[in-house]
C-alpha cells in the first residue's frame, strides 16, 4: 500500500491542493484512496467535504483523544473515515482541536500510533495521502514515520529554494532514526510559469544541484481557485483542463517510479 505524505514547513506552497488532486486522480483511475488531513486548519477536509465538513463526526480529534485515553474497547481506525462525494475517495477529516492535543501527544510519546493505525487499513485502501501542517511538529513527524513516500511542494520562490536542502536533510534524518521505508519521491514544482525567467532559473538550479525534482510541473491557474470554491477536485471538475491534465501526468510519473 502506498502511503504518501505531502510536506513542507513553509505555508502557502500548495500542500492541500496537491494532496487532494493526486488522491482524486488515483481514485478516478480505480484505486481505493484515503486522504488524511493532519492540519488543524482543515483546508483539505473543506476541499473534499465542502459544507458537510462542519457536520463530519468523528474526526481526527476524536481519534487522537482515543489514543490519549487508552481503552481496551478503542474503535478501529476505520471508524474515523468518512466517504466523500467522489467515488472510491474517503477522508479522515481534521478538527481545530487537534492543535490543543499536540503537547499531550508529544509528552506521552504517541509518535508511532498513527503508523499503526494506517497499517490496519492495508486491506481497505490501495493508496493513502496525508496532508500536514506547515511545521515540523508531532503531526508531521507522525506522518513521516507512517509514510512510504514523501512529496515536497516547491512554489518557485527564493526563500523556498533556500530552505529545501535543510528540509531534505531533516527528512533523511527521520528516515534514518524512525522509518527506513520512507523515500523522498520528489520535489513537486507548483505555480510554475514557463515564460517567467525566475521560476525557470530556480528550477534549473535545483536540478543542477542533483535534487529529485519531478519532471511534470503544475501551472498557476484560476481553475484551482474555482476547484477550491466548488469543493471539487480538478479531475472531477474538468478532466480536460490543462491543470487537471498536469495532475494526471504527475500521478503517472509517480506511479512509474
Q: What is the mean pLDDT of residues 108-136?
A: 96
The mean predicted confidence, pLDDT, of the chain is 95
pTM of the entire predicted model: 0.96
Neighbours of 150 (CB within 10 A): 26
pLDDT of res. 62: 96
Q: Give percent above pLDDT 90 in the chain.
A: 86
Q: What is the pLDDT of residues 196-208, one digit of tens each?
A: 888 899 999 999 9
Q: Which residues contact 179 (CB under 8 A, 6 or more apart)?
A: 115, 144, 145, 146, 147
CA atoms of 225 and 31, how far apart (whole Å): 26
CA atoms of 222 and 206, how far apart (whole Å): 26
> Which band of pLDDT confidence, cut at 50, 70 and 90, is reported for residue 105?
very high
Q: Where are the domains of the chain?
A: 2-256
The radius of gyration of the chain from alpha carbons, rounded to an integer in Å, stands at: 18
pLDDT of res. 153: 96
**CATH class entry, domain 2-256:** alpha beta
Contact present, 235 and 24 (Cβ < 8 Å): yes
Q: Is the pLDDT of residue 46 over 80?
A: yes
Query: E strands of the chain, at which residues?
Result: 2-6, 33-37, 82-83, 89-92, 127-131, 149-154, 183-189
> Which band of pLDDT confidence, cut at 50, 70 and 90, is reported for residue 162?
confident
**What is the bridge-based pairing of β-strands 33-37 and 149-154?**
unpaired
User: Coil, strand or helix: which one is 25?
Assistant: helix
2 φ, ψ to 5°?
A: -80, 130
pLDDT of res. 157: 84
All three cell numbers of 108: 506521552
pLDDT of res. 159: 79
Amino acid at each position: 500500500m502506498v502511503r504518501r505524505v505531502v510536506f513542507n514547513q513553509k505555508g502557502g506552497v500548495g500542500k492541500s491542493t496537491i494532496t487532494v488532486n493526486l488522491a482524486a486522480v488515483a481514485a478516478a483511475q480505480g484505486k481505493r484512496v484515503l486522504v488524511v488531513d493532519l492540519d488543524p486548519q482543515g483546508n483539505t477536509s473543506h476541499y473534499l467535504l465542502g459544507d458537510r465538513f462542519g457536520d463530519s463526526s468523528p474526526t481526527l480529534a476524536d481519534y487522537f483523544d482515543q489514543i490519549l485515553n487508552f481503552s481496551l474497547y478503542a474503535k478501529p481506525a476505520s471508524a474515523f473515515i468518512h466517504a466523500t462525494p467522489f467515488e472510491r475517495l474517503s477522508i479522515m477529516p481534521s478538527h481545530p482541536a487537534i492543535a490543543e492535543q499536540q503537547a499531550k501527544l508529544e509528552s506521552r510519546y504517541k509518535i508511532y500510533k498513527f503508523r499503526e493505525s494506517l497499517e490496519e487499513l492495508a486491506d481497505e485502501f490501495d493508496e493513502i495521502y496525508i496532508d500536514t501542517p506547515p511545521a515540523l511538529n508531532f503531526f508531521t513527524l507522525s506522518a513521516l514515520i507512517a509514510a512510504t513516500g514523501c512529496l515536497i511542494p516547491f512554489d518557485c520562490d527564493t526563500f523556498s529554494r533556500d530552505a529545501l536542502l535543510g528540509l531534505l536533510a531533516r527528512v533523511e534524518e527521520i528516515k534514518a532514526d524512525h522509518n527506513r521505508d520512507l523515500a523522498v519521491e520528489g520535489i513537486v514544482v507548483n505555480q510554475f510559469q514557463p515564460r517567467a525567467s525566475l521560476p525557470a532559473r530556480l528550477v534549473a538550479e535545483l536540478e543542477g544541484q542533483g535534487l529529485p525534482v519531478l519532471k511534470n510541473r503544475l501551472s498557476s491557474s484560476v481553475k484551482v481557485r474555482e476547484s477550491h470554491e466548488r469543493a471539487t477536485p480538478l479531475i472531477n471538475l474538468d478532466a480536460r483542463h490543462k491543470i487537471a491534465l498536469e495532475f494526471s501526468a504527475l500521478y503517472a510519473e509517480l506511479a512509474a517510479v
